Structure 1
Amino acid sequence: MPITPLPLPAGPDVLEALPRLERALTGTAPVLPHAPDAAPQIPPGGAPDDLAVTVATSGSTGTPKLSLLTAANLIASAEATAERLGGHGQWLLALPPHHIAGLQVLLRSITAGTTPVVLAASEVTPFALVEATAGMAGERRYTSLVPTQLARLVEDPLGLEALRRFDAILVGGAATPAALLDRARSQGVRVVTTYGMSETAGGCVYNGTPLRDVIVRTGDDGALEIGGPVVAHGYLGMESDSFVAHGGQRWFRTGDLGVVDGEGRITVHGRADDLINTGGMKVAPRLVEDAVVAHIPAVTGAVVVGVPDPEWGQIVALAAVTSPGGPLPGPVAADGLGEIREMLRPHLPAHALPRRVLVVTQVPLRGPGKPDRPAVARLLGA
């Protein structure tokens, strides 16, 4: 059965694509969603009989791949999400619809038999969100955001008013700072953190706990592996050892480092590829980023990368976004760097303390809210 391209525009015009997505969910008319200005190349390759959607990965670890998601994958994800959130409801789309998080808003709406309200991601202002939520008539109301959207809306009284109207707000795409979560929840915003990827039909771990029938374990290398009905069939046109079958279960090797505690709760430490090797010691950027946002005043966002160094091999380098009135963009001088290191010293081992800091107005992004680490590394290397 041929896979046909499906352009998904940002904004309300995307609703015209719902009939084709509904047919795709029958497993008889597979589509490849894409941005209208990006004509996709569909490589040859085998596909499962009930293929519904071929969706591109974010490409945050290299060239985007095309994940093969079946109708069974997507329906299992939608039903388990509804179960976890307290029932099906009406969704608001505020993310690019050709990425898995935005696409899932449309697919969950189809499964629920509701019509989503749509805002283009670039138009998610506090006032626009208030107007959009006023037009939602569903008994339960949901949306998905990335952390940067949540942070901007929480800071605005109108945005906060709109956020409180939702029964659940899924936040994913990138790590959400603990301080942001605490602030939002203390203000009555029902935030649900999600972890997942295109290869698992989007988020499959909510607030650290897997959805129904999803299993998460750590492999021998310390990376997380996900099994269950949401795991994709594979990649279109390429073989990958990231997908394995074992014990009658299909597993996806995520490449993300993390731990699963005795109660089955998952903590993600970041990608194994992002580990920094400085003087023979390994540093997980996520742990440094969390400490920076939690303990450095005025820092609202942080991305940590390794940059080459003749003495240490790599050094820990930090790109920081500050609140209005904070330091001006540019490299932090030696005295300021020393202050930052001293503030972090009680919370991080010595080898994880940043040796270079750059203040930026915004972090380069790739995909729906993911930091573009290679771009950040180039900035810090320069």
Structure 2
Amino acid sequence: MWIDFSSKKTNFLKDQDFKEQNKDWKKAIFSFLKNWYENKPILSLTSGTTGVSKVISLRKEHMYERAIKTVEFLKLKKKEIRGLLCLSPDFIAAKMFLVRAIIFKWKIYCVPPSSNPLKNIKEHFDITSMVPMQVYFSLKYLKNIKIVLIGGYSISNILEEKLQNISTICYSTYGMTETSGHIAIKKINGSNKSTFYKSFQDVSLSVDNRNCLGIFSSCSMNSFVQTNDVVHMISENTFTWIGRYDNIINSGGIKIIPELIEREISSFIPCDKRFFISSIPDKILGEKIILIIEGNPFSLDIPDNIFNGKKKFYKPKNIFFISHFTENLLDKFRRKEIMKKLIKIKT
């Protein structure tokens, strides 16, 4: 489905075929655009970065300003931009993609969210936004896209390595519903690639006593947003993301950040398998490290030498396979909810 925002008219809002679509993703796009043009409240679900996931109302002017900052950073202000929207319209990433298209008069092709959105598309695009799972399944088709914004969750080491061999410019984005989208970006392939995120000029960063990132921006819901993301500040406007404070495990008196282990072992787990590190109660350690993988059981060989020295505490004591983390591969999974079900099954 094409939507051409380069036209001054918004006839598509009156198009009966568009309004009567029986597909949820198309209905969600139409609903968002209708609310935008009619200045009605924009509702979006938070990811849980700042606390419990909830629905919040976004301010149109904040979304407008944040969209401009992203496009300016990418230097995409030229005319006749063609974009691909392949994310769920229910979440902030897709909503902000639509806002950028509206403001800068892009022509965008909308497809249902899927793990391999480019499979049957022969078109060429200037830009798209994807989650890592989509990027992995779309690797051989990415040559048809100039810029890919990757967000939603962290990019595995092995996927990042594969992205070094393509001409498409890939960026890892950092942002959330509460900040109306991106506040920092890092280039992960090609010339001038980076190992850290750099915030936009209108954003000020800080860390609290947990080393969790604080964000001050005029585009944020409450001007200041305190996250639960543990970071390492490199300078006043650059940082590396380490993990989530609320995921930290205390095993035998040692505090362990699961995301650090996940990075270490990601090269040994197929890219099409979602997984995470967590813990279960242990009589001796208090909590013992476990690995949970989505899908049917398979043989896994993680070399012992990656757990040498201090990293010996990182080694998972058990591996569990769960058929489905979520109904849809693109949905964010909730670690705590999965662990509750797992512990219930095992007890």
Tell me if TM exceeds 0.5: yes
Matched, 1:151 2:136: yes
Residue in structure 2 matching 1:30, options 28, 33, 40: 40
Aligned partners of 2:209 and 2:303: how far apart in 1?
Answer: 34
Partner-residue secondary structure (3-state), 1:188: coil
Residue in structure 1 matching 2:127, options 138, 142, 158: 142
Superposition CA RMSD, Å: 3.1
Please name the residue that 2:277 is paired with: 304
**Unmatched runs of 5 consecutive residues or more in structure 1:** 1-5, 32-52, 155-159, 234-249, 323-327
TM-superposed deviation, 1:177:
0.8
Residue in structure 1 matching 2:211, options 218, 222, 225: 222
Seen in structure 2, the aligned counterparts of structure 1 residues 125 and 273 have a Cα distance that, compared at 3 Å, is: same
Residues 316 and 356 in structure 1, CA contact (< 8 A), matched pair in contact too: yes
TM-superposed deviation, 1:320:
3.3
Residue in structure 2 matching 1:20, options 30, 34, 53: 34
Deviations 1:216-264 (A, max 9, x none): 221122111111122113xxxxxxxxxxxxxxxx210011111110373
Q: How does 1:1-382 map to 2 (within 5 A)?
A: 10-12=24-26, 16-17=30-31, 19-23=33-37, 29-31=39-41, 53-59=42-48, 63-88=52-77, 89-122=81-114, 124-128=116-120, 130-131=121-122, 133-134=123-124, 141-154=126-139, 160-161=140-141, 163-207=142-186, 208-233=197-222, 250-262=223-235, 264-294=237-267, 296=268, 298=270, 301-320=274-293, 329=297, 340=302, 342-346=304-308, 349-360=311-322, 363-364=325-326, 369-378=331-340, 380-381=342-343, 382=346
Code of the residue aligned with 1:91 in structure 2: it is G
Residues 76 and 229 in structure 1, CA contact (< 8 A), matched pair in contact too: no
Q: Which has the larger displacement, 259-268 or 220-229?
A: 259-268
Residues 365 and 371 in structure 1, CA contact (< 8 A), matched pair in contact too: no
Seen in structure 2, the aligned counterparts of structure 1 residues 197 and 276 have a Cα distance that, compared at 3 Å, is: same
Please name the residue that 2:11 is paired with: none
Partner-residue secondary structure (3-state), 2:90: coil
Code of the residue aligned with 1:372 in structure 2: it is R
Partner-residue secondary structure (3-state), 1:303: strand
Please name the residue that 1:243 is paired with: none
Aligned partners of 1:62 and 1:366: how far apart in 2?
Answer: 23
Residues 114 and 134 in structure 2, CA contact (< 8 A), matched pair in contact too: no
Aligned partners of 1:147 and 1:167: how far apart in 2?
Answer: 17
Residues 146 and 369 in structure 1, CA contact (< 8 A), matched pair in contact too: no
TM-superposed deviation, 1:20:
2.1
Residues 278 and 313 in structure 1, CA contact (< 8 A), matched pair in contact too: yes
Partner-residue secondary structure (3-state), 1:370: coil
TM-superposed deviation, 1:171:
0.8
Seen in structure 2, the aligned counterparts of structure 1 residues 99 and 347 have a Cα distance that, compared at 3 Å, is: farther
Deviations 1:170-209 (A, max 9, x none): 1111111122022123222321101111101122211111
Code of the residue aligned with 1:227 in structure 2: it is F
Partner-residue secondary structure (3-state), 1:349: helix
Number of aligned pairs?
A: 311
Aligned partners of 1:351 and 1:115: how far apart in 2?
Answer: 51
Aligned partners of 1:284 and 1:205: how far apart in 2?
Answer: 22
Aligned partners of 1:117 and 1:169: how far apart in 2?
Answer: 15
**Unmatched runs of 5 consecutive residues or more in structure 2:** 1-18, 187-196
Please name the residue that 1:239 is paired with: none
Code of the residue aligned with 1:373 in structure 2: it is R
Residues 195 and 203 in structure 1, CA contact (< 8 A), matched pair in contact too: yes
Please name the residue that 1:236 is paired with: none
